[in-house]
Homo-oligomer: A and B are copies of this chain.
């Protein structure tokens, strides 16, 4: 898919076709795209959990206030980050976000729908995932994935008045 088409076609999808399975190689392709995002001082602070377990998704849905879409999602990618010791650690949120955006675009390219759910820096939400995953890194974002079962309009808007040339 052309870059422009992926950027234009990406939507936040909250309703997926139930029971669909995503091949492991597709998860790997999405996360590979994520790993090619830039990171502060090339620190690549990320780690990933792919949750396909219905039991774990149900538990997250029960505890996270905005995770209803997990009802129909096929899976969930959690992007965690481990801030390093030097100043690049200030940027781990942004590193995880750039990585997440690449994952969303690659998912669009592969025909999947996604929605980005924020975790860190809302500590209670990050804690839910830390509890469930038992991983030491900070869960920064989570991405619900599946075959779209809705077709919303694009909510991004080009607003040139927000641009100042100097």
Contacts and interface: CB of A to CB of B under 8 A. Distances in A.
Contacts of A102: 7, 101
Nearest to A156: B36
A97 interface: yes
Interface in A85-140: 87, 90-91, 93-98, 100-102, 104-106, 109, 116, 118, 121-122, 133, 135, 140
Contacts of A67: none
Copies in the complex: 2
A20 interface: no
B3 A166 contact: no
A94 B141 contact: yes
Interface of A: 1-8, 10, 12, 24, 27-28, 31-33, 35-38, 40, 42, 44, 46-53, 56, 87, 90-91, 93-98, 100-102, 104-106, 109, 116, 118, 121-122, 133, 135, 140-141, 154-160, 162-166
Given A28-B163, A49-B163, A105-B105, 6 more contacts: A1-B3, A48-B163, A50-B164, A53-B166, A94-B100, A94-B141
29 contacts: A1-B3, A2-B2, A3-B105, A3-B106, A3-B109, A7-B36, A10-B38, A12-B38, A31-B163, A35-B158, A35-B162, A36-B158, A38-B156, A42-B155, A44-B157, A46-B162, A48-B163, A49-B165, A49-B166, A50-B164, A50-B166, A87-B122, A90-B118, A90-B121, A91-B118, A98-B100, A98-B101, A133-B164, A133-B166
